[in-house]
Amino acid sequence: SSGPLKVAVTGAAGQIGYSLLFRIASGAIAGDRPVELRLLEIEPALKALEGVVMELDDCAFPNLAGIEIGSDPEKIFDGANLALLVGARPRGPGMERGDLLSANGAIFTAQGQALNKVAADDVRIGVTGNPANTNALIAASNAPDIPKERFSALTRLDHNRAISQLAAKTGAKVTDIKKMTIWGNHSATQYPDIFHAEIAGRNAAEVVGDQAWIADTFIPTVAKRGAAIIDARGASSAASAASATCDAARDWLNGTPEGDWVSMAVVSDGSYGVQEGLVSSFPVTTRDGNWEIVQGLEIDEFSRGKIDASVAELADEKNAVTELGLI
């Protein structure tokens, strides 16, 4: 379509925002199509955001068609074709899971309602802010006029981490690795599954040939990578999260390549025994801005147990936010 792609980003003055905005402005999602950035922050962070906007200006990006900033979601989401919900309330000292869910619930109910009111008819919404799956569920539940299929939560960083670990183990190029899958929640219970993945056309698990490595090294390394980065860097992953957020949005809008798929957390239709209505990560193909869950994969007992454990955690989170009246 014509005109710039209007991309709303929340939490724009945060760490991920500081990497993400420059990637979007330089074409990581829309290629040569101009983009307009619409940046949401809370009031106290607007001054810092003004500084980020100065830097965006100073890049003189050829395809950056405009920038709006503000703290009112109804203004910032107005006409958005793509909304990347990055801003969230981090877990503070002494904060229980219930406190975290309700703090984020307040953010994602309001943002869901605002998107429902003012976003473009073709809006796609990607949630990066944690707990991402449940935040996406809350936003979708508060946007009754937007089809639930338009919401997804980010598991692409986990997917990319899994590809990178597998490439390092096997000496393959990342581009030779196809059909990686992350199942379940973007949390330590996630299940990175290489039993359907391929390395240069060969089954990845067979190439690895070492079930103990898969179970005891690969899966925990991918699932706990976020914590390892915090340990090393003293701050949570930001540039890689921004990169994955771009990858996910670009592939959603432009389609997945033939012979490959990506991982996205999307509303379950009951596929693979995942409780209908949960926002859970699946292998998906995309086309023309729509996704489809890859069907017909054989799930063995090992994988079944891992998927079920992560889905059970999602069901718990859903029960908790239902009790809090957020959905």
3-state secondary structure of 323: helix
3-state secondary structure of 314: helix
Instruction: Determine which residue in the list 6, 9, 14, 286 makes contact with ligand NAX, applying CB under 6 A.
Output: 14
- Pick the closer one to ligand NAX by CB: 135 or 256: 135
42 near ligand NAX, rule: CB under 6 A: yes
Helix H or strand E segment including 244: helix 239-254
13 near ligand NAX, rule: CB under 6 A: yes
86 near ligand NAX, rule: CB under 6 A: yes
- Pick the closer one to ligand NAX by CB: 3 or 90: 90
Query: Can you tell me the distance from the alpha carbon of 305 to that of 316, in angstroms, rounded to the nearest whole number?
Result: 17
DSSP string, 195-210: SS-EETTEEHHHHH--
Shortest reach from residue 158's CB to ligand NAX, in Å:
7
Torsion, CA 160, CA 163, CA 168, CA 173, rounded to 10: -110
Indicate the pairing of strand 151-153 with strand 191-193. Answer: unpaired
Residues 229, 241 contacting (CB under 8 angstroms): no
Type of residue found at 55:
E
10 near ligand NAX, rule: CB under 6 A: yes
Contact residues for 312 (Cβ-Cβ < 8 A; gap 6+): none
- Annotated catalytic residue, options 179, 186, 225, 318: 186
In DSSP terms, 177 is beta-bridged to 199
Shortest reach from residue 33's CB to ligand NAX, in Å:
25
Is position 186 annotated as part of the catalytic site?
yes
Instruction: Determine which residue in the list 107, 138, 162, 222 makes contact with ligand NAX, applying CB under 6 A.
Output: 107
In DSSP terms, 40 is beta-bridged to 10, 70
- Pick the closer one to ligand NAX by CB: 172 or 311: 311
Q: Choose one: 7-15, 24-32, 192-200, 249-257; the region binding ligand NAX (CB under 6 A).
A: 7-15
Is residue 128 annotated as involved in ligand binding? yes
Instruction: Determine which residue in the list 179, 186, 306, 318 makes contact with ligand NAX, applying CB under 6 A.
Output: 186
Is residue 97 annotated as involved in ligand binding? yes
Q: Choose one: 8-16, 27-35, 214-222, 305-313; the region binding ligand NAX (CB under 6 A).
A: 8-16
87 near ligand NAX, rule: CB under 6 A: yes
Query: Can you tell me the distance from the alpha carbon of 322 to that of 327, in angstroms, rounded to the nearest whole number?
Result: 5
Task: Give CA angle at 35 (238, 29), nearest 5°.
Answer: 50
Instruction: Determine which residue in the list 63, 102, 236, 271 makes contact with ligand NAX, applying CB under 6 A.
Output: 236
Helix H or strand E segment including 54: helix 46-58
Sign of CA dihedral 12, 114, 185, 93: positive
Residue nearest to ligand NAX (CB): 14
Q: Choose one: 54-62, 84-92, 114-122, 169-177; the region binding ligand NAX (CB under 6 A).
A: 84-92
Query: Can you tell me the distance from the alpha carbon of 304 to that of 293, in angstroms, rounded to the nearest whole number?
Result: 17
Is residue 91 annotated as involved in ligand binding? yes
- Pick the closer one to ligand NAX by CB: 77 or 218: 77
109 near ligand NAX, rule: CB under 6 A: no
Shortest reach from residue 104's CB to ligand NAX, in Å:
8
* Summary count for the chain: helices (H), strands (E): 12, 14
Would you name the residues annotated as active-site residues? 186
Q: Which residues bind ligand NAX (CB under 6 A)?
A: 10-11, 13-17, 40-42, 45, 86-90, 107, 128-130, 132, 154, 157, 186, 226, 236-238, 241
> Per the annotation, where are the binding residues for substrate?
91, 97, 130, 161
